[in-house]
Structure 1
Amino acid sequence: MSPRYPYPTRLSDLDLSDILASPANSDGSPANNSETLKMWWPSSHFNLRPALSERVSEFVKRSAASTVAAAAEGRGGGEQNAIIDALEFTRWLGVYYNIACVLFPIGVFVIRKAAGRIKGYKKAQRKKNKEESSDSDSRSFKNGNVDVSVVETASTASGSSASSAIIPAEIDSDESKPLLHNSSSSSKLPWYTLLYRRIKGFLTYQRPNDARGRVIPHNSILIINQLFFWTSIFLSIYKIYYPLDMANDNSQLRFFLLADRWGMIFTMNQPLNFILAAKTSPIKYLTGWSYEEHLIVHRMVATTSHVASLIHFAGMYVVYRMFIARTGQSFMSVLSRPDILFGVVSFVAFWIFGFTSVDEFRAKSYEIFLATHISFATLAMIFLYLHHPAARIYVVWSFAIWGIDRLVYRAYNKRWSADGVVQVLDESTLKVTIKNFGGSKKMKWEPAGHVFLTVPGWTRLQAHPFTIFTAPVGYDLEGNNIDDANEKEMVLVIRRLKGFTDALYGMGDEQGRIKVVVDGPYGSEHARGSLKDCQKTLFIAGGSGIAVAWPLMCEIIRREMDKNKNGKGGKRRKIVLVWIVHHEHHLNWIEQDLEKLEEVKRTMPREFEIEVRKFVTRGVNGRRPDLRKEVTRVVEDEDGVKVHGRTGVLVCGPDAMMREVRTIGRDLLWEGKDVEILAEKFGW
């Protein structure tokens, strides 16, 4: 609270006798006496400028005088109280913002994730109790001199006489269900289940690109973004333009409050903006958002900040025209004040790195995007700190978040020096194998994680993100344990584009050896956690999108391999990989891995089905797959082992492919199918 202009009281508690008794101006308004009607502006730096503050006080006093006259005539005095209500709300805007825009939306997803964890834990406990009960029954049979064993043997053409004793794989293991399923009754779902899946389908759907070709997020994240944006607008106008009365001078005071609030919203957005931009953001783990969703929300907060800064900047210029210009001060004299000048520099810096962050610019010049994003964001925050004292706490929190993420956590725990080998796969693709990580602890990562790669011999100022293609130790098809002594090599499959990747294409000595610095690994557990409870899994990868699909696929297969090894396997599972590439020689990227997969398939029980479908879109025999047919074939068990349960569909590739799969998923969910659509996008 400013000691010069403390908080105003309401009309019912305000003694206006001094105002009405004070000398009047030539236009009949009360004379300017800032000590008569005491003012407090909760955030505005105009508290520090008597020329403007006295002018504002004059407008308030004029309104107060007209209100007294109106009250004397029996017309009430609610307008003055409305302005004071707006001031009161502005005073507590920080609290309302943090509750409405930060704590509430994040809390909803935290509760949702916690409920899912509790549900999964209870399901695991029921499964464990069922297995213990089964083991107990088995021991009781043996104690009673009865030893029953059922052996399933795959039927062959030469052994057809034994096939009659085989239990068909299609029979459900639950003996409480009838052997002959009633298709009509099984297709009927409770109304609440159907409603839930249709709502889920609506949230999964992704609309086509807009007129400018920009990708529209899927509905669930789009709703979150829109709620955040419109909540910010509501907080900026609440109690300022209600009730709206443009016939008196209070309309100018309302405009002053509006511009002031947008400046507050811009400032309060910054800690949230920084924590969403952090690679080790706790919000990602608390909410269960995917990396793509987390990034889209960050961009929405940044967009709202740009809108807020623009309205605040333009609004304060209009305030100058309303209040300061009447005092005879020129615009340049006001602009030359240090606090105003600092605000202008912060505004310009914020918009420069905002412009270089758009999709088109980032895709063409990632190096410039990264450099301007860091440098101009730092510059904008420094001058925002100097612009106004009320902004300093938010700037300090933003820098604290950045420092903990970048300097403390990433620099000491996520930075590795290693040896790399560059291998050219074809004219548009290269493979980088990284090994010999420095440090006393081993390099570990999760399936579908990513790292930022720097080549000191080329430049130390650029770090580019790439998805880790190799499945980590303990999740691969090799059967290695997590605590194995040998550290696993990390493989990156990289598309050759302009800039860093083009330079990387020709790096290395005769053997392609280079020194690299690895920042990471990073990633999200969203896809892994969602696929864990799916009995059928379909992976759709477009080109280098195989780098996301392959390690996740290996994790599921490895989990079943370990269960089978421990005698707990035999449950029906189906895994299908649909890989779409431009040219046939692209299939050689993972030729050895696919050969290893064939070896693993021969060791797995027949209830566990693994299928790889490869499509080449260009060339003499090129053709594109019918994705709707491919997805429906797995969801509805049109061939192969019949598996009942949820189907997880993970897609990674071009935007058009991801949008098509989301649309297919929406249609299947609308029909009541139990489908989980997961999209992993290359977006940084």
Structure 2
Amino acid sequence: METSSVYLSLPASKERLYDYSKAMDWPYQFVTLSEADRHKRRILNDQYGLYAQLSPLVPIIGLLLVRLVRWRLGKLTEKQAPYDAEATSSAVAFYEASVASSPLALWRRFSWWLSDNVEFAGLTLCQRDQLIFGGVWAAWLLFLCTKDTGTDYHHLARRFGIVGISQLPILYLLSLKWFNLVALILRTSHEHLNRWHRTLGRITYLFITLHGVLYLNYYFQVGGLPAAFLRVVPALGMSGLFCMTLLNTTSLKLIRRLSYRVFFIIHITVALALPFIVWFHVPHGRIYMAEALAVAIVDLGIRRYTRVTSFCAVEGIIGTDLVKVKVKSSDNMMKSLASRPGSHIYLSIPPMSKSKKAPLLLSYLGSEFIFNPFTVAAIDEEAGEFMLVVRQMRGPTTKTLSSFSDPLLRDINVALSFDGPYGDYTSFPSFSGSEFDGVLLFAGGVGATFILPLLKHIRTENPSLRVQTIWATRNINEAAWCTTQADSGILKESGLRLFCTRSGFESTDNSACECSSISDVEMSSLDKESKVNDSSVPVESFQRPNIRQIVNAFFQQGHGRRVGVVVCGPDEMAADVRRVVTHWVERDRDVWFHNESFGW
């Protein structure tokens, strides 16, 4: 909404503007500036906008230094910690006492506390570190917005705008899946950075909203509000603010539950349109819009270039609402998947596989911008194929895949497009050495498509490592897809315990849990009759697993060293596991915890 000719276009004299500002009960006033003063204001705004954009370098460098210090502290602690191959209780007690007051132990407890969820009125808002560091970041940007603005109302309003849009390039960068320089520098993944993308997105929206509100107040005060909407610059500003409001509203969990497709399409549309709106709204912000648009186009271009289309066999799994997709893939894709267990790909349906009744333009746009993430459940390197297990949901992609599984079409392969692989495994620690005392894996429903490949990889990397896997399903047929694979013996793997709850997953406090309707790892209710031979699927129990008992027993049997805990299942399952593991973290046990989720 910024314009240098705002005074000339309003039906109010300079004296009237000054009178209105005097009536305002706060320090900022509507002041009249000379051309030289306006130029100085412009220089200051550009300067603080640059400060705001370069500021993310500070936490990135700080995080790298923290990792260096933590690595050094870990080396010092290893020299102090004894190793007792017999895992006696005295050895464990001695180890816990030796590290209880160490700097590394204090850091671990603090890090665990930061990663706890913040809840309000029964709703999970974010993790505690997002709230704290996001608040610090917002305070820093607020300081940049008010510094050297004096009592000039327009200086403050414009500063909120320039600082807000200066965050858009880093906001876009954090959202990228392939060309993510921040993930490369920090040796992490898009999935881990996505929550910071959401945090920065809310902060950016706040500052741009304040920019808009200040200008709306100005137009109202001088009596020029109706006329402002008829001018190009204010109209573009309000359009941009409306788009960002629409984007943030559809990002709410309630809206995403009702229609994830609406959230996704609006997200993509606004992200591509916003740089053009701001470009014509204010010339001084064009450098930031060029940066944001450039990184987005480069990422989309790379993903489009690396996307592959393959003919796939789609088959329904009897007695469930699951669909099995077998994909013949290239050697490069198979090598990437083999080196990244538990990775996921983005699947889209090309126009050639869609109904001929659908308009060609809509089919093309759908194949370019509508894609769903699915975990690669298994790979067969000899056959050159990988497999997906998909649960039919309410969206068009899974419904279309389900229609391809019609028995009448069993001998007909369909064309599907794939982009990836992606996943958090690149940031996982190594399981090959003696760092870990054991790894405890939890899978809920089709969350096993992530857990079982990880289990197989750990067994290959370190056969002697103590590993226990808990897989909870509602129906025995949900585990049947494993019995048809080349590595079907994984169901009889030592340490794998299968629980078929039949009545649904429940938490450890005996309260029933309802799972998210949009999650790809949820365990939805199944009414179909079981038709799988129970002997091929070794079920330990037809009751829910006692998570507290399982976790406590696993930690008690260890040597006192680091324990890995990985969960891929409903939110309630992850919350129950984390609640029990917290007890051991408070006892100074070193825990590496990972919760795999497609909530966004």
- TM-score bracket, normalised by the shorter chain, equals 0.7 to 0.9
Who is 1:469 aligned against?
376
Match of 1:519 among 419, 425, 433: 419
Work out which of the residue numbers 265, 281, 290 in structure 1 matches 2:163. Answer: 265
Deviation (angstroms), 1:47: 2.0
User: Could you tell me whether the CA contact under 8 Å between 1:420 and 1:432 is conserved in 2?
Assistant: no
Task: Say which SS state the counterpart of residue 394 (structure 2) adopts.
Answer: coil
Query: Cα deviations across residues 385-414 of structure 1 (Å, max 9, x unaligned)?
Result: 10000111111111100111001x11112x
Match for residue 51 of structure 2?
96
Query: Which range is displaced more, 213-222 or 388-397?
Result: 213-222
CA distance in 2, matches of 1:57, 1:93: 31
**Secondary structure at 2:120 match in 1:** coil
Offset, 1:598: 6.7
State TM-score, norm by structure 2.
Answer: 0.76
Partner of 1:614: 498
1:436 has 2:328 as partner: yes
Match of 2:593 in 1: 677
Q: Contact 2:442–2:471 at 8 Å: present in 1 too?
A: yes
Query: Aligned equivalents of 1:389 and 1:85: distance in 2?
Result: 16
Listed one character per residue, the Cα deviations across residues 486-513 of structure 1 (whole Å, up to 9, x for unaligned) are 5631211111111221232122552163
Alpha-carbon distance, 1:430 to partner: 2.4
Matched, 1:645 2:561: yes
* The one of 497, 502, 508 aligned to 2:393: 497
Q: Name the counterpart of 1:72.
A: none
Tell me, yes or no, if the aligned pair for 1:531 and 1:648 is still in contact at 8 Å.
Answer: no
Contact persistence 1:418–1:434 (CA under 8 A): no
Checking the alignment, whether the CA contact within 8 Å between 2:473 and 2:479 is kept in structure 1 is yes
Partner of 1:540: 442
Which residue of 1 is the match for residue 298 of structure 2?
A: 404
Residue 632 of structure 1 aligns to which amino acid in structure 2? Answer: N
Q: Mean Cα displacement is larger for which, 584-593 or 667-676?
A: 584-593
Secondary structure at 1:189 match in 2: helix
The aligned residue for residue 382 of structure 1 is 276
User: Residue 120 of structure 2 is aligned with which of 184, 199, 210?
Assistant: 210
Q: CA deviation at 1:113?
A: 4.7
Distance change in 2, residues 1:108/1:56 (3 Å): farther
Q: Are the aligned partners of 2:250 and 2:256 in contact in 1 as well (CA < 8 Å)?
A: yes
Change (3 A) 1:369 1:498: same
Q: How much has 1:291 moved relative to structure 2?
A: 4.6
Could you tell me how far 1:232 is from its partner in structure 2? 2.7
Partner amino acid, structure 2, of 1:519: D
2:535 match: none
How far apart are the structure 2 equivalents of 1:122 and 1:416?
48
Q: 2:176 maps to what in 1?
A: 278
1:51 alignment partner, one of 2, 5, 8? 8
How many Å separate the matches in 1 of 2:134 and 2:117? 14
Per the TM alignment, residue 205 of structure 1 is displaced from its structure 2 partner at its CA by 2.5
Task: Decide whether the 8 Å contact of 2:95 with 2:560 is kept in 1.
Answer: no
CA distance in structure 1 between the partners assigned to 2:42 and 2:181 by the alignment: 34
Is the 8 Å Cα contact of residues 583 and 618 (structure 1) preserved in structure 2? yes
Structure 2: which 5+ residue stretches go unaligned? 23-37, 355-362, 505-540
Question: CA contact under 8 A between 1:433 and 1:489: conserved in structure 2?
Answer: no
- Residues 438 and 469 of structure 1: is their aligned pair in 2 closer, same or farther, counting only changes over 3 Å? closer
- Please tell me whether the aligned partners of residues 392 and 399 of structure 2 are also in contact (alpha carbons under 8 angstroms): yes
Query: Could you list the per-position Cα deviations for residues 55-82 of structure 1 after superposition, in whole angstroms to 9, with x for gaps in the alignment?
Result: 499969x99xxxxxxxxxxxxxxxxxxx
In structure 2, the residue matched to 1:636 is 556
Structure 2 CA distance for aligned equivalents of residues 306 and 435 of structure 1: 41
SS in 2 for 1:678: strand
1:317 to 216, 221, 231: 216
Give the secondary-structure state (helix, strand or coil) at the position aligned to 1:45.
Answer: coil
Q: Does 1:550 align with 2:452?
A: yes
1:231 aligns with 2:130: no
Cα deviation code 1:600-647 (max 9, x no counterpart) = x6xxxxxxxx4011222225974222212211211221xxxx555210
| Residues 469, 550 of structure 1: 8 Å contact kept | no
TM-score, normalised via structure 1 length: 0.68
Cα 1:227–1:121 change in 2 (3 A) is same
CA 1:487–1:111 in 2, change beyond 3 Å: closer, same or farther?
farther
Shift of 1:218: 2.9
Larger Rg, first or second structure (1 or 2): 1
Q: 1:365 and 1:257 mapped to 2: Cα distance?
A: 41
Query: Does residue 1:576 correspond to 2:487, yes or no?
Result: no
**Inter-partner Cα distance in structure 1 for 2:344 and 2:436:** 24
1:667 equivalent in alignment to 2:563: no
Please report how far the alpha carbon of residue 298 of structure 1 lies from its aligned counterpart in structure 2 after TM superposition. 1.0
Aligned length: 518
| Cα deviation, residue 472, structure 1 | 5.1
CA distance in 1, matches of 2:203, 2:441: 35
Structure 1's 57 and 298: CA in aligned 2 closer, same or farther, altered over 3 A?
farther
CA distance in 2, matches of 1:454, 1:376: 21
Report SS of the residue matched to 1:51: coil
What does residue 341 of structure 1 align with?
235
Q: Counterpart of 1:172? A: 85
| 2:317 aligned partner | 425
